[in-house]
Chain A
């Protein structure tokens, strides 16, 4: 039972992180290699708002979530917009540069000292019994609920709202979408805002569960295989890929060797690339574009 709980929590973490990769790639074909750094920035945003609005933790969380979305908008408006029409590789390189810049800025502003936003918020991370001997941490439960809500909301948004349908259209055929009057820059900016928002939330939750420091960047990259296994342009794929990778990781840690947890995601990824290179739920034509 505890192993099942561990798998669900880890899958939620990977899924919440990897949906940012998918949102940006699906719409603009750009692979954001600054996602870990934007998660880090989101978490520092929470630390700052928690210090600023001490005594009002809910307001601090809401402000930091809003801030994460605004940062995503700004990244597109000030940086990625200028890459329109350039090669995808150039845009990917820009995201690498953005990551380096964000890492440097966080050190300058907040130093490298480990921070604990949960303490600043005045909240605890209790251990909650789940029946039997299984337990889940408060933040772990929040991860599961928030990831489920985010995916549910994204499903509804992409399927039933005007902007969601525009976003899907832009992802499928940007030229045709533009000719039909869809504002591509608006759609791309929204994708960046949503991706940074979900990444920022993931960063905040990880910082609350563990602590906030520069190791978050590497954690951002650990979710990448989950997105690739599922198919880089599929949200359902990100969810299923996260579940596969986390199941393999948790079971191998418990039954074989904990050191395998580092290589397992990439072993699963290699196996998937051999059998089905476009991922479980990805589009086959994506291979040509990559």
Chain B
């Protein structure tokens, strides 16, 4: 009996301690097929939170990040969200998981009135203007805008008429983006010659690549998880295809360009590469080192931005925090990213994505034997959808 009373007291004490901190929950794909590009975001965000706490916390209070692994499965994500909201009383919930987990997590946060911050996977349309009051997103990539920027680059880089091949993966966001790109390409005077949607995952991409190669595109645009993008490309090259391939710069893009070493393989993205050697990138290295983050530093920009956004939002929400105060603070947030992106991250009441999206393009420069930038920041205004 005494033991039970002691345990109850310990739990109460723990709960009281939690109330003396900003409690933020995370449901993330820390394991599972997509973890390679999602878990580093959460790990770096955790390291940044430790960094904040080491400096005395936010408004003099520590930040407590509770991470729950959903393995990229919607049912687990829903259970995590329910537990984090009802038991841990989080004032903000982060989702760093695949897009199929969004709907159940959104439902849970809406029910409880807790703001939901997407960080890692694609930003949902609800964060674009006119934004949902409770949904926010800082992830680098954005549906439709990425294809606009990519096809602009392809159009500008091509002297000959563009015969465009498209590759996506059999998940709703990727398929929708590739369909959008197909329509946009036609409007821009390009000829879409083939569109292949690969299953997630497949042991051999050659069958898909054969069809794409036989359609004879001179440019390819792929927008899906990294493994599908790059494996389709590699299979096409092994079949002897010699065109140019543009794809989205996921977290591992800088490292992958150096592995692939093909000047005709391009990546487009919105986060600066570490070849820039910015002072802020030195800080990312230091924070990651102190936090024992086990991923390469080049993977960590996205997670660092999450940390900075959290710090700013919680600081502006004041103490004691409530979900409503945090949501209000996030609705008028402006963070100077010090060169990590082409401009600041700015959220307004109407726009929880960003007001302007800036894109760069890189490839492997064989002469310099290094990753090289082929297009500097190009801005696209984020308009009402």
Contact = CB atoms under 8 A, between A and B. Distances in A.
Contacts of B237: 127
Given A211-B227, A213-B33, A214-B35, A127 B211 contact: no
A258 B208 contact: yes
Interface string A127-139: 1000001010100
Contacts of B83: none
B197 A259 contact: yes
A140 B206 contact: yes
Contacts of A9: 204, 206
B201 interface: yes
Contacts of A211: 227, 230-231
A222 B203 CA distance: 9
Contacts, number: 111
A259 B205 CA distance: 13
A103 B31 contact: yes
Interface in B309-346: none
A218 interface: yes
A116 interface: yes
B200 interface: yes
Interface size class of A (residues with CB under 8 A): 35 or more
Interface string B235-252: 001111000000000001
Interface string B192-216: 0000111111111111101100000
A258 B196 contact: yes
Nearest to A3: B210
B211 A254 contact: yes
A90 B211 CA distance: 45
A119 interface: yes
Given A9-B204, A9-B206, A125-B238, A116 B259 contact: yes
12 contacts: A104-B31, A107-B30, A111-B295, A133-B240, A135-B240, A211-B227, A213-B36, A214-B35, A215-B227, A254-B207, A258-B198, A258-B207
Give the 6 A-B residue pairs with the shortest CB-CB distance, closest first. A112-B35, A215-B201, A127-B238, A262-B199, A215-B33, A253-B207
Interface of B: 30-33, 35-36, 39-40, 170, 196-208, 210-211, 226-227, 230-231, 234, 237-240, 252, 259, 294-296, 299
